[in-house]
């Protein structure tokens, strides 16, 4: 089989498939992408056995039907560095030859028969249909508290994708914090009609593959009418999107675990509430972070309702003291609480809003972050127990140094 590739049209699908492959795996064939030609239709398939991708691609013409394995590590470099945008690749048995202009490269591949059978969408149940832009926001916000590494319990490295009462929720936690994003969605049946979602459906999906999905759907999110179908069976979750000429099916193996009851943390009550500019708060925390980064990463927030500003401080014996003041609207009780500055920044960077609302419950209670004018995103964070040495009193920027205390742990969420 001989194929001609037009790189500008082909490279988008190739890069999606390339990110699914694990070239360092123990199974050689998993280091390649399967190219299948059926008439004028060409499909790329890739897997690392945890997530799989099948996508129809343009920019490829095959002289006959057939399948071939494309080694990712080698051909990925050659495709990107080819001197011309149009080139050919000829496959014969387990060998290949790439010709680009006057340049020729011969390479060894694997037999197409060695590529594992990918799961098929078959009779998977449809969970819902959601716009690409809404799903992109759900994944970005809802995965903010999750971990991309394998954790125990397993739910710490996963997101709960939940359909409940007509809303799609994405929730993650690492036990010290929790993020939740939600949108109203529609559920389309296979005949094209609309059905209102009923009850609750829960899918526990690893954070890492969901981050890859975010990258895949970003180009599709530019148009509001681009929709993504979420399907599932007993072991897999599926995401299907794109038109027929660029149809993409992405599947992820579900995590076998139970997500904790997050709803018990959704307490609307607070003793202190602050509305502040998100960009200004991020900038202030980023200036405090270098001072405390190599100690305990604690930032202390001081709120005095009625005042036009809030004060934040960071302190480390070996580096010094940082104090920031930021204009804000606050109400409720005066309070002082310490938080992990990295955790605060994670929540602020994931939210798409000009202003944020911080609802706090004293020095030992949880902080809930969200948009100032909506409740479709919540980021819940437990405070850090403060020592006297962490506190910077008003005007103490040049205060006396004290012995460094033992780092205080971040409180765990009370699931």
**What is the per-residue pLDDT across 76-98, written as a single tens digit (0 to 9) for each?**
999 999 999 999 999 998 899 99
> In the prediction, which pLDDT does 381 show?
95
- At the topology level, CATH places domain 125-264 in DNA Polymerase III; Chain A, domain 2 (3.10.150)
CB neighbours (10 Å) of residue 348? 21
Mean pLDDT check: name the lowest of 82-86, 142-146, 223-227, 336-340: 223-227
Contact indicator for 226, 132 with CB cutoff of 8 Å? yes
Average pLDDT over residues 209-220: 93
> In the prediction, which pLDDT does 190 show?
43
Contact indicator for 73, 32 with CB cutoff of 8 Å? no
Q: Which comes out higher in pLDDT, residue 345 or 109? A: 345
Q: Measure the N-to-C terminal CA separation of the chain; round to a whole number of Å.
A: 58
Instruction: Specify the 3-state DSSP secondary structure of 207.
Output: helix
Domain boundaries, the chain: 2-114, 125-264, 267-390
pLDDT higher than 50, residue 404:
no
Q: What is the strand order of the sheet 309-316 is part of?
A: 200-206, 158-164, 167-173, 177-184, 377-381, 367-371, 355-360, 272-277, 320-332, 309-316, 298-303, 335-340
Which of the four pLDDT bands, split at 50, 70 and 90, describes residue 306? confident
> In the prediction, which pLDDT does 196 show?
46
Level-2 CATH architecture, domain 267-390: Roll (3.10)
Query: Tokens 């980064």 map to which residue?
Result: 293
> In the prediction, which pLDDT does 410 show?
63
CB neighbours (10 Å) of residue 289? 17
Mean pLDDT check: name the lowest of 159-168, 178-187, 371-380, 397-406: 397-406
Whole-angstrom CA distances from 165 to 111, 189, 199, 371 are 48, 17, 6, 22
> In the prediction, which pLDDT does 398 show?
55
Instruction: Provide the β-strand partners of residue 60.
Output: 5
- The tens digit of pLDDT for each residue in 276-289 reads 999 999 999 999 99
Query: Tokens 């009418």 map to which residue?
Result: 225
Q: Which comes out higher in pLDDT, residue 69 or 123? A: 69
- Please give the Cα distance from 209 to 47 (Å, whole number): 11
pLDDT higher than 50, residue 152:
yes
Nearest to 177 by CA among 352, 340, 299, 364: 340
> In the prediction, which pLDDT does 403 show?
47
Mean pLDDT check: name the lowest of 23-37, 170-184, 202-216: 23-37
Nearest to 231 by CA among 212, 250, 246: 250
> In the prediction, which pLDDT does 51 show?
95
- Please give the Cα distance from 381 to 368 (Å, whole number): 7
- Please give the Cα distance from 15 to 98 (Å, whole number): 19
The answer for residues whose C-beta is within 8 angstroms of residue 166's C-beta and 6 or more apart is: 184, 185, 196, 197
- At the topology level, CATH places domain 2-114 in DNA Polymerase III; Chain A, domain 2 (3.10.150)
Average pLDDT over residues 389-394: 85
Average pLDDT over residues 339-344: 96
Torsion of CA 152, 156, 159, 163, to 10 degrees: 90
Mean pLDDT check: name the lowest of 94-98, 202-206, 258-262, 316-320: 316-320
Average pLDDT, the chain: 89
Which of the four pLDDT bands, split at 50, 70 and 90, describes residue 193? very low
At residue 73, φ and ψ (nearest 5 deg) are: -60, -40
> In the prediction, which pLDDT does 34 show?
96
> In the prediction, which pLDDT does 268 show?
83
Average pLDDT over residues 67-80: 93
Q: Do the domains 267-390 and 125-264 match in fold? A: yes
Instruction: Specify the 3-state DSSP secondary structure of 383.
Output: coil
pLDDT higher than 90, residue 292:
yes
Model-level pTM?
A: 0.87
Mean pLDDT check: name the lowest of 156-170, 186-200, 309-323: 186-200
- The tens digit of pLDDT for each residue in 352-385 reads 899 999 999 988 999 999 999 999 999 999 999 9
At residue 83, φ and ψ (nearest 5 deg) are: -70, -15
pLDDT higher than 90, residue 122:
no
Burial of 9 (0-12, 13-18, 19+ CB in 10 A): middle
At residue 235, φ and ψ (nearest 5 deg) are: -130, -10
Nearest to 142 by CA among 282, 259, 300, 267: 259
Average pLDDT over residues 34-44: 92
> In the prediction, which pLDDT does 194 show?
47
């Amino acid at each position: 089989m001989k194929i001609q590739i037009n790189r500008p049209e082909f490279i988008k699908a190739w890069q999606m498939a390339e990110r699914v492959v694990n070239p360092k795996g123990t199974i050689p064939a998993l280091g390649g992408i399967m190219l299948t030609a059926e008439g004028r239709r060409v499909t790329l398939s890739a897997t690392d056995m945890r997530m799989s991708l099948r996508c129809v691609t343009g920019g490829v013409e095959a002289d006959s039907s057939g399948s071939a394995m494309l080694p990712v590590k080698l051909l990925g470099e050659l495709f990107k560095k080819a001197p011309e945008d149009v080139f050919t690749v000829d496959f014969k048995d387990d060998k290949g030859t790439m010709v680009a202009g006057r340049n020729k490269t011969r390479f060894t591949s694997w037999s197409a028969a060695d590529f594992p059978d990918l799961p098929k969408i078959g009779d998977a149940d449809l969970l819902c249909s959601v716009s690409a832009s809404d799903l992109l926001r759900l994944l970005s916000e809802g995965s903010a508290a999750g971990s991309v590494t394998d954790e125990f319990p397993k739910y710490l490295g996963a997101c709960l994708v939940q359909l409940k009462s007509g809303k799609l929720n994405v929730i993650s936690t690492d036990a010290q914090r929790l993020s939740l994003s939600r949108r109203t969605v529609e559920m389309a049946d296979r005949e094209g009609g609309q059905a209102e979602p009923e009850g609750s459906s829960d899918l526990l999906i690893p954070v890492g593959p969901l981050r890859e999905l975010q990258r895949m759907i970003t180009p599709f999110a530019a148009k509001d009418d681009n929709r993504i179908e979420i399907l599932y069976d007993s072991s897999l979750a599926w995401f299907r999107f794109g038109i027929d000429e660029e149809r993409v099916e992405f599947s992820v193996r579900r995590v076998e675990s139970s997500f904790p009851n997050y709803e018990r943390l959704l307490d609307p009550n607070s003793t202190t509430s602050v509305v502040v500019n998100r960009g200004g708060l991020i900038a202030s925390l980023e200036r405090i972070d270098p001072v405390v980064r190599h100690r305990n990463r604690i930032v202390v927030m001081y709120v005095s309702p009625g005042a036009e500003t809030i004060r934040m401080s960071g302190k480390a014996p070996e580096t010094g003291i940082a104090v920031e003041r930021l204009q804000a609207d606050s109400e409720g009780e005066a309070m002082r609480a310490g938080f992990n500055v990295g955790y605060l920044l994670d929540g602020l960077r994931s939210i798409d809003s000009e202003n944020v609302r911080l609802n706090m419950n004293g020095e030992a209670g949880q902080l809930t972050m969200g948009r100032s004018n909506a409740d479709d995103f919540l980021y819940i964070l437990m405070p850090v127990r403060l020592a006297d040495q962490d506190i910077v009193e008003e005007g103490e920027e040049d205060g006396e140094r004290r012995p460094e205390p033992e780092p205080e742990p971040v409180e765990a969420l009370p699931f």
